[in-house]
Amino acid sequence: MEYNIAVVSGDGIGPDIIREAKKTLTRVGDVFGHQFQFEDLLAGGCAFDAHGTPLPEETVTACKRADAVLLGAVGGPKWDTLPGHQRPEQALLGLRKQLGLFANLRPAILFPELADACLLRKEAVEGGLDLMVVRELTGGIYFGEKGTKETEQGLAAYDVEIYSEEEVRRIAVVAFELAMKRNRRLTSVDKANILESSRLWRRVVNEVAPAYPEVMLSHMYVDNAAMQLVRDPRQFDVIVTGNLFGDILSDEASMITGSIGMLPSASLNVENFGMYEPIHGSAPDIAGKNVANPMATILSVGMMLRYTFGLAKEADAVEAAVRNVLRQGYRTQDLMSPGMNAMGTEEAGDRIAAAIGK
C-alpha cells in the first residue's frame, strides 16, 4: 500500500524528531511492503517568519488531501511577543478545527524498563502502567468567545467555556468504544459541582452510557482526578474530559511515564483521519544538539499506523522496537539513569528503526 503523509516539522526540536520518525516509517515500509510518501509543509513560527502567518492556506490544503498528518512541535520564545492570532500555537488550533480533529487520544504508558525514571513511589507503578486520556479537542474554552472589556477595576479579559450536547456525545462515544477494547472502565472528568458546562457534560455522558452496559462508568471532579493520577494511577483505564482539563491532565500523566518525551498523541476526525504528534513542546534550547528524545514522535507514528491506516501488526512492531531499545539499556538524555548507555536523537532513531521486524 502507498500512503501520503503531510509532514509539519515546525519549530525548535520539531525537525530533529520528525527526521527520526520518517526513518521509522521508511523502515516499516521496507519490512512490511508499504510506501510512505512525505510532503514537507510549514506551520508555526517558521511559517510566520516565511509567510507572515502561522498557518498558510497551502499547508491546510495539503493536509486535507493527505492520508494523515505528522507534526513535530511549534512555538518558542522568539514569537512570544506576537499578537494572539499570529502566535505559532494558532497553527495547531487552526489545523484541529479545519481538519475536524475533535478526538485527542493521549496514551500514558510506563514501560517496565523505565520504572527507575518515574518519580512516583515504586508501589504505585509496580508492573508498569497503561492508561488513555481522551480529550475533546475542538470545543470548550480554547474555542469559545474571548475578548477584553473595561471594568471598574480596569481592563478585564474573558474566555468562555462552551460545549454543545453533540460535541460531548461524540467524544463520549469515542471514549466508550476505546474502553470496550481495553479494560472496560471509563472515568469522565469534569467540574460539575461548579460549572454549568460540566453539568451538561456529565448529563450527556450518562445518556450515552446505556449503549455500553459492559463499561463501568464513573465520574470524578478534575481537582480530585489530578490528585489521583499521582496517588494511584492504576485505578484509571480510559479518562474522557474536555479540552482544558484534558490538556492539563495528559501533561500531568507524563510524570508516570518517566519523561514527557515518551508521550505520543493522535487527533482524529469522524473518519479516523488523524494528525499525530508528541505532546511535548518545541524545546528550542536543545534544538539541533542531537539530544532530544524522538520516542514520543516515533510512538505517534505507531498510533498513525494503528488508528488511521489500520495496520495493527506494523504498529505493534514500532512499539516493540522502542521497548527493545530500552530493554537493551539505551537512554536519551531525559531518561538517563546510572548504568544505562547514553544515545542521542539520531542514534535513537537508527536503533529503533533497525529493531523493527527483528
* Residue 321: alpha-carbon gap to chain centroid: 20
Question: How many other β-carbons are positioned within 10 Å of the β-carbon of residue 128?
Answer: 15
pLDDT of residue 111: 82
Quick one: 292 exposed, middle or buried, by C-beta within 10 A (0-12, 13-18, 19+)? buried
Distant-in-sequence, close-in-space partners of 308: CB < 8 Å, separation ≥ 6: 67, 68, 266, 268, 272, 273, 274, 276
Residue type, 241: T
pLDDT of residue 24: 97
Euclidean distance between CA atoms 131 and 133, whole angstroms: 7
Identity at 178, one-letter amino acid code: L
Q: Is 93 exposed, middle or buried (0-12, 13-18, 19+ CB in 10 A)?
A: middle
Q: How far apart are CA 247 and CA 241, in angstroms?
A: 9
Rounded distance between C-alpha atoms, residue 244 and residue 222, angstroms: 10
Are 318 and 356 in contact by the 8 Å Cβ rule? The answer is yes
Q: Which domains does the chain have, with CATH numbers?
A: 1-106+264-358 (3.40.718.10), 119-256 (3.40.718.10)
Inter-residue contact 8 to 43 (CB < 8 Å): yes
pTM for this prediction: 0.91
Which residues in 185-229 belong to E strands, given as ranges? 185-190, 216-221
HSE on the CB side for 337, CA within 13 Å?
12
> Cα separation of 39 and 54, whole Å?
18
Q: For residue 41, what are the CA distances in angstroms to 87, 222, 267?
A: 17, 37, 18
* Cα(128)–Cα(299) distance, integer angstroms: 17
Say what the pLDDT of residue 128 is.
66
Place of cell 515546525: 10
The rounded distance, in Å, linking the Cα atoms of 29 and 35 is 5
Alpha-carbon distance 15 to 301, whole Å?
Answer: 15
Q: Cα separation of 311 and 288, whole Å?
A: 32
**Number of residues that make up the chain:** 358
Q: What angle do CA 181, 270, 139 make, to 5 degrees?
A: 100
- φ/ψ of 134, rounded to 5, equals -105, 110
Residues in the chain with pLDDT < 50? none
What is the C-alpha separation between 320 and 350, in angstroms, rounded?
15
pLDDT at 124: 67
Which residues are part of the catalytic machinery?
142, 191, 223, 247, 251
- Alpha-carbon radius of gyration of the chain: 20
Side chain identity, residue 42: L
Cell 501533561 belongs to which residue?
A: 251
